[in-house]
Structure 1
Amino acid sequence: MRYGYSGLPPEGVTDEEFLDGLADEGYTAMELSFVHDFPWKKPRCTAFGKLAAERDISLSVHAPFFAMLTVDDEERSRKCVHAIEHSMKLSQAMGGTVTVVHPGHSRDRTSEEIFDLVRSRLDYLASKTTHLSQHLGLETSGTVAAFGSLGDIAVLANEYPFVYPVVDWAHVHAVSQGQMTSRESFEAVINFLYSEFPNFKTEHLHTHFSDNLFGPAGEIKHVPYGQGTLRATPLAETIASMNLDITVISESHHLDSHRAIFHELTEGIENAPATPAAATRPLSHLTLPDAVSVIKDGEAFVPIGVRQPLRLSNIDKPLIPSPGGQTYSKGDLIQYYASISPHLLPHLANRPLTMVRFPNGIDGDHFYEKRSPSHAPDWITTAVMGDGIEYITANDRATLMWLANMACIEMHPTLHRTTSEDADVALFDIDPQEGATWADLAEVAALIKLTLDNLGLRGYPKTSGSRGLHIHVPLGPGHSFERSRGFIGAVGGLLSKANPDGISIEFDKAKRKGKVYIDIGQNGPRRTTAGVYSVRPRPGAPVSTPLRWDEIGDVEPSRFTIETIWERIEQHGDLFAPAIRGGQDLTVAEEALGIGT
């Protein structure tokens, strides 16, 4: 558990002194609450974020209270969404990942009218914040008539990759007329989150806590802790019993209340009934984030802290040669996918997945497996697509671990979601052929970037994890694969005509020797390539890694591995996050390229 409170440092106290005070209290989180406006500018946010990181204090931002999503007056609405956008930018500057927003009021409008209005605001924010690694946290409403129940938020979180839930326990308590008084009531809310939200959005929970008074319509006001009926002990018991990864932000207006809530939470967690001790061992010998321990159970190993009933086997089996003459084991592979899950899962969510399995390591035979095996656990989500195949969809950390336990080294998602067999990505899959170099590939990538810029489109590059480069162009609804393939073919054709000696779109390998090949055919409903952050079956365990455009010519793709990628993620976050935030329309580009005329 991380704990802190919402507010701003008081006047007369330096940021260093303030953060030292938080650390001395044992607090490990802080939510900067810009209640009415923005008294802080970006430079201070950046400096504050660095100081907080040095003290292991995670930061989030609460947007101004007026900045809601349900305002229908267009002028006021623009002010609201601009304030939310600015809040997200400030959160990014300080190294935070969550920007909290009050969804807004219903005001006698129908549910359909409210959702249409909110979706239009979220569409705008998606288009303006594609470059940010931010979660927009929709806070549960505190009154019965307001928009923003957990059910409302679940609908939006399932539609928008950047929308996450923020559970305000005081609001839930008020709307339920004081029902949050037992561990069972808190567990019921958590189980609702698990059942209704994408699983990767509930791996870590961001929550608010305070005491309050309420009436038939919901919350009336916050009060000092102890004057209302909401208590922290049942939440502490739930955190312990369900092994929650959770941040709790006190929204009380009193320092003594912050301390009292924190004391009750920590004491409740410490005093929760202990699970009988069992002999444990690390899953992996690697030093990776969120290290998993396992308990031996017969011939299997059971990971600790995994929500689903998962059993692992042969975790010490060697799979991939590593530097220094050692090998990466299956346990190392499982740990990597468990560690990378917060960044990987949003990209895999609700995409049919093809497994590339290496039961005896990369030096042995391998095979592609599209159909979900009959022995797959019943908690793994699947989807039957138009080809009649039931595909696995990797929507949670446990599924990634199960796939890795099946020696699935490579994970190949489709370029569409399960909800539609239209493309939501147009893919430039470019590879240097025999005789061509990475420098040649970088020149072609620069030409593609220039072309996309001239067409008013965004593209996001990543290493393939092997010798090539993938450039994702995110698409909005209504783009068939015929259209996406036609677009990639038109751009590739123009570039190959302009540089026939250096670029090829020819299927015949003999005709593309010494050139950089743009593989148009990868744009199809049944075609897949290694997804972002997928391990590749090569010595050293390289990883398909997002890149900045300005660094393509200077990188050595093989240096991004399951052991080395973490420093890059810590420095840049998920550079590929914008690729799943807001699709684009190809119509104008198609007209410019003469497609269909």
Structure 2
Amino acid sequence: MASKAQVLQVPGPGGVVRDVRVSSPDRVMWPETGLTKWDLAQYVVSVHEGFLRAVGDRPVTLQRFPAGIEGEEFFSKNPPRGVPDWARTTTCTYPSGRSHPQLVIDEVATAVWAVQMNTVTFHPWPVRTADNDNPDELRIDLDPQPGRGLADAVEAAQGLKALLEELALTPWVKTSGNRGLHVYCRIRPTHEFLDVRHGVIGIARELERRMPDLVTSAWWKEERGEKIFVDFNQANRDRTIASAYSPRPLPGAPVSMPVRWESLRDVTASDFTIRTVPDIVAADGDAWAGIDEAVGDITPAIALWDKDVHERGLGEMAFPPDYPKMPGEPPRVQPSRARK
């Protein structure tokens, strides 16, 4: 028999207190830990300040697990039915050209309601609702390939930090909640997605030149080797990364956790879980507390792309397989098959 619904009282704007109903609060979301839907709702409230700094005023895709992380999962782009009166949506345009609304999380009560709808991971777009076409975040995903691990990603991230600072950008780092790292920079929303993607490719290629034995920008897995892949296609429209403080649907209930650069070499992925993160934040604060005040310019990164195009003869890179064919894109086929 399903457990009786419980109501979580959540602080709202202007001193308002929201009552958010959580049905089946005893539903186990992470079987090996016994963590429940109620535990998840309480976790979101406990880290709400940093979490809202990461997702607030952005379209958000919800990764939902109606029977826990070992059951069926799906991504909600359209807001689930029953959106509360205090929540809002914003209309996004997708690569296909179609548009529809997505949920915006402006207050913690909306996040708790999303948990009520069995959301585990929150995937915000890198845009604000005032301009859904021009990103205000540059996001770089450092993805260790087989044979590499978090320590290697840390080394690549340190090299990336130096490069980004040369470009007058302020980098912020977080664990992915798995094996990799995510590096973010706030940018002024002056360019659309394709331009920002080109800036990320320019950064990826330059980092690969500086760290050729460790870093790769090769899209095809067969060409990456045992390196850290800079996933430039995460910069595309409708491509999202798990937000800061977002739980991940993996054993142990890990969290994608902001960390300070000076502490990065000492962290392990298992340090940050739904159970441990609230106490860490209470003791140390939010490692990304200053991110909104550190806004840079994407044009120096785009200049790296332009230099590669005009001086080195490098061109467009492959897009994800579900994307429409893009101008200048190379054949969307594995190199080994193309040679045949």
Q: Distance in 1 between matches of 2:6 and 2:281?
A: 29
Aligned partners of 1:566 and 1:380: how far apart in 2? 25
Equivalent in the alignment of 1:402:
113
Q: Distance in 1 between matches of 2:19 and 2:87?
A: 11
Q: In the alignment, which residue of structure 2 is the partner of 1:518?
A: 230
Partner of 2:202, secondary structure, is helix
SS of aligned partner of 1:362: coil
The residue number in structure 2 matching 1:415 is 126
State whether residues 463 and 546 of structure 1, in contact with CA within 8 Å, keep that contact through their aligned partners in structure 2. Answer: yes
Offset of 1:575 from its aligned partner? 1.2
* Partner Cα distance (2:130, 2:10) in 1: 31
Query: TM-score, normalising length from structure 2?
Result: 0.82
Instruction: Quote the residue 2:104 is aligned against.
Output: 393
> Is it true that 1:569 corresponds to 2:276 in the alignment?
no
Deviation at 1:371, TM superposition (A): 0.3
- 1:376 maps to 2:83: yes
Which residue matches 1:320? Answer: 30
- Per the alignment, residue 549 of structure 1 pairs with 261
* Conserved? CA contact 1:462–1:470, under 8 Å: yes
User: Aligned to 1:334, what secondary structure does the other structure show?
Assistant: helix
The RMSD of aligned alpha carbons is: 2.0
**Structure 2 unaligned spans of 5+:** 12-16, 311-340
Deviations 1:201-230 (A, max 9, x none): xxxxxxxxxxxxxxxxxxxxxxxxxxxxxx
Change (3 A) 1:377 1:590: closer
The question of 1:447 aligning with 2:152 is answered no
Identify the match of residue 482 of structure 1 among 191, 194, 203: 194
Deviation at 1:524, TM superposition (A): 1.9
2:8 is matched with which residue: 294, 303, 306?
303
Q: Deviations over 1:435-461 (max 9, x none)?
A: 112221111111101112222221000
| Per-residue deviation, 1:400 | 1.0
| Mapped contact 1:422–1:525 kept (Cα < 8 A) | no
Q: Which amino acid aligns with 1:540?
A: G
Is 2:183 the counterpart of 1:471? Answer: yes
More helix per residue: 1 or 2? 1
- Give the conservation status (yes or no) of the 8 Å contact 2:137–2:186: yes
**CA distance in 2: counterparts of 1:473 and 1:500, whole angstroms:** 23
1:308 partner amino acid: R
Question: Which is worse superposed, 328-337 or 506-515?
Answer: 506-515
SS of corresponding position for 1:377: coil
Which stretch shows the higher mean deviation, 583-592 or 341-350?
583-592
What is the alpha-carbon distance in structure 2 between the residues aligned to residue 305 and residue 395 of structure 1?
Answer: 13
3-state secondary structure, aligned to 1:574: coil
Tell me, what secondary structure is at the counterpart of 2:204? helix
Inter-partner Cα distance in structure 2 for 1:404 and 1:379: 16
> Aligned pair in 2 of structure 1 residues 311, 594: CA closer, same or farther (>3 Å)?
same
Larger radius of gyration: 1
Contact 2:59-2:103 at 8 Å conserved across structures: yes
Q: Residue 590 and residue 525 in structure 1: after superposition, are their counterparts in 2 closer, same or farther (change >3 A)?
A: closer
How high is the sequence identity, in percent, across the aligned residues? 34
Letter of the 1:315 partner, please give it. P
How many residues are aligned here?
Answer: 297
Helix, strand or coil at the partner of 2:135: coil
TM-score w.r.t. the length of structure 1 is 0.48
Tell me the SS of whatever aligns to 1:522: helix
2:203 is the counterpart of 1:491: yes
Moved over 6 A (4+): none
Alignment partner of 1:490: what SS? helix
Does structure 1 retain, via aligned residues, the 8 Å contact 2:172–2:291?
yes
Cα distance in 2 for partners of 1:592, 1:508 equals 22
Matched, 1:361 2:68: yes
Give 3-state SS (helix, strand or coil) of 1:451's partner: helix
Gap regions ≥5 residues in structure 1: 1-297
Q: Given that residues 168 and 296 in structure 2 are in contact (C-alpha distance below 8 angstroms), is that contact kept between their aligned partners in structure 1?
A: no
